[in-house]
């Protein structure tokens, strides 16, 4: 189980400090694909960076801790030593494969960078060649430079890098961005198959609720640096507890339904402002006076289903 305990992630800028992830408390059971959704700037990618331990200035973990639930060389792995286990116990699949792969190094070298001392490089490369064949990649792709591969092939290489060493945790940050629909579907099916085989945990960031509906076992919804809902995907999609989640789902198009869909009107608050009460109140059709003055607690309203809203019952009955 991955336990996020009071996580606050802060960026330092010329204007001062701003919390991009604010007081997140969530426990994620092992062996699930967890979809993380929310508008741009809500903190999704920053949360993944914190979990991965990719914490470089101007980003800092200003409060909280993470229990990864996996053992390392010196006991349970923590945020202080998680970098030692990159791609071995925890891996990261980014949005842009072109900016993540070293452009002047052949693909095969980028697999060898993560070997333990004493491992047989030639034998490992032969295993990798066989492995990528199962991901619909030609073995000779290992001998290429990144720019010699198509966008879809590069993204599959990133999936191969992120999964070959069979990590316990895979963090995928919008891995299908800028790919055509056919390639997107292939990448999503690939991740689902890998998770089914390895039984590991995948945290999958996407702004596309339709994608989450297809692949996620659990859903985590973020709004303005806060987690506002978390639970089994079926429960979240069928009976959302937070108005923001409800509005995101209602905006999804349905085949055969010509009804005009409405998005979430308005804009999220600026994280630079002094925020009081519920951060969604100004856009919420269920908001009352208490929402403007008191921040709702993130509570378990049904077994395994959490939400931060003063009016959960009204939202569910609407």
Q: How many helices, marked H, and strands, marked E, lie in the chain? A: 11, 13
* Domain final position from 144, 166, 188: 166
Kindly calculate the radius of gyration of the chain based on its CA atoms and give it in whole angstroms. Answer: 21
Task: Give the range of the structural domain holding residue 144, as residue numbers without chain letter.
Answer: 96-166
Are 266 and 279 in the same domain?
yes
Residue-wise pLDDT for 198-232, tens only, equals: 999 999 999 889 899 999 999 999 999 999 999 99
User: Using CA atoms, how far apart are residues 175 and 93, in angstroms rounded to an integer?
Assistant: 6
Q: Which residue has the higher pLDDT, 254 or 211?
A: 211
How far is residue 82 from each of residues 26, 70, 307, measured CA to CA in Å? 19, 10, 29
Are 44 and 132 in the same domain?
no
User: 3-class secondary structure for 283-294?
Assistant: HCCCCCHHHHHC
- Which DSSP string corresponds to 248-288? HHHTS--TT--PPP----S-PPPTTS---S-TTGGG-TT--
Residue-wise pLDDT for 30-48, tens only, equals: 999 999 999 999 999 999 9
Report the CATH number at residue 280: 3.40.50.300
Supply angle C-alpha 227, 83, 169, rounded to 5.
50
* Domain final position from 111, 140, 166: 166
Are 69 and 116 in the same domain?
no
Q: Which residue has the higher pLDDT, 261 or 199?
A: 199
Mean residue pLDDT across the chain: 92
- The domain tally of the chain equals 2
What strand order describes the sheet that includes 169-173? 90-93, 169-173, 201-205, 33-37, 218-223, 226-232, 305-308, 298-302
Please determine, for residue 51, whether its predicted confidence score (pLDDT) is greater than 70.
yes
The answer to whether the beta carbons of residues 188 and 180 sit under 8 Å apart is no
Are 153 and 83 in the same domain?
no
Are 142 and 219 in the same domain?
no
* Domain final position from 150, 166, 182: 166
Q: What is the pTM of this model?
A: 0.92
Are 11 and 115 in the same domain?
no
Are 69 and 184 in the same domain?
yes
| pLDDT (mean) for 77-93 | 88
Are 202 and 176 in the same domain?
yes
Are 267 and 289 in the same domain?
yes
| pLDDT (mean) for 255-263 | 65
Helix 151-163 with 181-198: angle, nearest 10 deg: 10
């Amino acid at each position: 189980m991955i336990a996020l305990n009071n996580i606050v992630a802060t960026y330092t800028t010329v204007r001062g400090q701003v919390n991009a992830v604010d007081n997140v408390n969530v426990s994620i059971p092992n062996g699930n694909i967890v979809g993380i959704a929310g508008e741009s700037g809500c903190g999704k990618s920053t949360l993944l960076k914190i979990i991965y331990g990719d914490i470089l200035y101007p980003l800092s973990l200003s409060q909280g801790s993470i229990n990864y639930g996996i053992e390392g060389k010196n006991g349970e792995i923590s945020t202080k030593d998680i970098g030692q286990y990159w791609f071995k116990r925890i891996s990261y699949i980014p949005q842009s494969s072109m900016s993540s792969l070293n452009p002047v190094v052949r693909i095969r070298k980028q697999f060898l960078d993560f070997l333990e001392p004493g491992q047989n490089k030639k034998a490992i490369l032969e295993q990798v060649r066989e492995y990528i064949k199962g991901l619909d990649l030609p073995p000779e792709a290992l001998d290429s430079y990144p720019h010699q591969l198509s966008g879809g092939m590069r993204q599959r290489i990133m999936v191969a890098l992120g999964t070959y060493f069979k990590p316990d945790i895979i963090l995928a940050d919008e891995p299908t961005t800028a790919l055509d629909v056919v390639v997107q579907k292939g990448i999503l099916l690939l991740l689902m198959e890998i998770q089914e085989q390895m039984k590991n945990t995948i945290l999958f960031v996407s702004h596309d609720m339709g994608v989450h509906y297809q692949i996620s076992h659990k859903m985590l919804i973020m709004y303005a640096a806060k987690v506002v809902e978390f639970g089994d995907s079926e429960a979240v999609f069928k009976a959302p507890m937070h108005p923001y989640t409800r509005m995101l789902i209602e905006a999804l198009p349905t085949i055969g339904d010509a009804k005009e869909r409405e998005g979430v009107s308005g804009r999220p608050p600026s994280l630079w402002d002094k925020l009081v009460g519920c951060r969604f109140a100004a856009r919420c059709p269920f908001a009352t006076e208490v929402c403007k003055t008191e921040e709702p607690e993130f509570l378990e309203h049904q077994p395994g289903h959490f939400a931060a809203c003063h009016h959960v019952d009204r939202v569910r009955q609407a």
